[in-house]
Chains A and B, each alone.
Chain A
Amino acid sequence: MKKNSGIIDRLLFFTLVPSFFIALYLVFIWSPVEKFMGAPQKIFYFHVGCAWVAFMAFVIVGYYSVRTLINPNMDHHIKAGISAEIGVIFTTITLVTGMIWGKSSWNTWWTWEPRLATTLILWFIYVAYLFVRKMDGSWEKIAKLSAVFGIIGVINVPIVFMAIRWWNTKLHPVVFGDGKNQQGGGIEPDMLVALLFSIFTITVLYAFLMRKGVEIEKMRHIVKKAKTKAMEKLAG
């Protein structure tokens, strides 16, 4: 099992490093410069990739939260926590790069547009989730309470995704599919390749960080147990 785990870690790492360079090449050199927005449009590839991976991370939090509620298990609790941490990092990236892109295209850092507002709410829910996990008390109690937050948060994921399709929005364009008052603009084939490869790379990064984070957190739990035992021995 440990041997397999090492192989998977190495496989992920050696996929991740060249993928990053290929993604950067595709984004900055291979894909064409957009006619109207110019160079800042290249923010799009990693902005969308990070948003996609953040959604995936929160769906995984939701999955492990449901499992934790059904059967409180340290393994599920740890996996949900690390996935939430990574999800918050990627949502932060999405929000900040979105603001920068917004400033360059809309000439404003922030607007209370449905996609932006729902993403910010999603970010707040999972930041709260991470704070709940840091509370004092038995791990079972914290695991159950945080699982509730994890499930509430995951309900918001499809709302964020559908926000620009359900509500009338003039600023955030629908790229794929159709919106309420707009048709999806689609994307150039070269840009699509760069986008899909960026999503793939960030997904591999997520998998790598997730495995490392879970491994460290499990080890921390073992050390904590050993420390408690040692203290008991010392006292006894």
Chain B
Amino acid sequence: MTYLFMAYSVIWTLIAGYVVVLGRRQKELKKELQLLEEWNSEK
């Protein structure tokens, strides 16, 4: 049972990790877009 728990923990952790990485990339892009918009409106 310990091995089964270990295996499925690895599966969920790695999948969740990749989803978090994608989320971070999206967040960073939103920030950069906001900066660009601000810069554009100031011009």
A residues at B contact (CB < 8 Å): 39-40, 42-43, 46-47, 50, 85-86, 89, 92-93, 96-97, 100-101, 103-104, 205, 209, 212-213, 216-217, 219-220, 223, 226-227, 230
Contact = CB atoms under 8 A, between A and B. Distances in A.
A100 B39 contact: no
Contacts of B17: 89
Question: Which of B4, B33, B36 has the most C-beta atoms of chain A within 10 angstroms of its own C-beta?
Answer: B4
Interface of B: 1, 3-4, 6-8, 10-11, 14-15, 17-19, 22, 25-26, 29, 32-33, 36, 39-40
Contacts, number: 65
Contacts of A213: 22
A46 B8 contact: yes
A216 B8 CA distance: 28
A40 B4 CA distance: 5
Specify the main secondary structure of chain A where it touches its partner: helix
Given A40-B3, A40-B4, A46-B11, A216 B29 contact: yes
Specify the main secondary structure of chain B where it touches its partner: helix
A103 B2 CA distance: 11
A104 B1 CA distance: 10
Contact of B18 (A209, A219, A223, A227): A209
B15 A212 contact: no
Contact of B22 (A93, A209, A226): A209
A47 B6 CA distance: 13
B37 to A, nearest CB: 10
Which are the 3 A-B pairs with shortest beta-carbon distances? A104-B3, A43-B7, A40-B3
Given A89-B15, A93-B14, A101 B7 contact: yes
Contacts of A100: 3, 6-7, 10
Nearest to B43: A233
Contacts of B15: 89, 93, 205
A219 B6 CA distance: 37
